[in-house]
A = this chain, B = another copy of it.
Amino acid sequence: MGDKISRGLLRSRERTFKALSDGTRLEIIEYLKDGERCVCEIIPHIGKAQSTTSKNLGILFRAGILDKREDGKKTFYRIKNPEIFRLMKDADSLNLKDLASVSETVDALRRAIEG
């Protein structure tokens, strides 16, 4: 209990969460859920400029979230570690519990009014 957490661990958490705190990058991750895709597919799917998409891919790559493979003139990105999806699921379940408690509150209010 109460163990001091290392600065380094905090900093790497921050880096990870920062990489994930952008909608465009979250969409890229979702798009790669089913397997690797070449940049030429990712760009039109995301619908942003080439430089923008390339920069975001670089951010995810440097954060250790994506991996890449070059084949001829194409580059394919993929999820480096599927554990990232557990992170997503955990985030979702946190958010869903929030929604659930809101809906419980709404239900309670409804009962109070109608009942």
Contacts and interface: CB of A to CB of B under 8 A. Distances in A.
Nearest to A84: B94
Contact of A21 (B21, B34, B95): B21
13 contacts: A2-B33, A2-B34, A10-B23, A10-B27, A13-B20, A13-B95, A15-B95, A17-B20, A17-B21, A18-B21, A20-B21, A83-B90, A83-B93
A90 B87 contact: yes
A104 interface: no
Interface residues of A, number: 38
A95 B16 contact: yes
Contact of A94 (B2, B16, B98): B16
A14 B18 CA distance: 10
A70 interface: no
A65 B5 CA distance: 19
Interface in A69-86: 81, 83-84, 86
Nearest to A65: B94
Contact of A16 (B10, B81, B83, B91): B91
A64 interface: yes
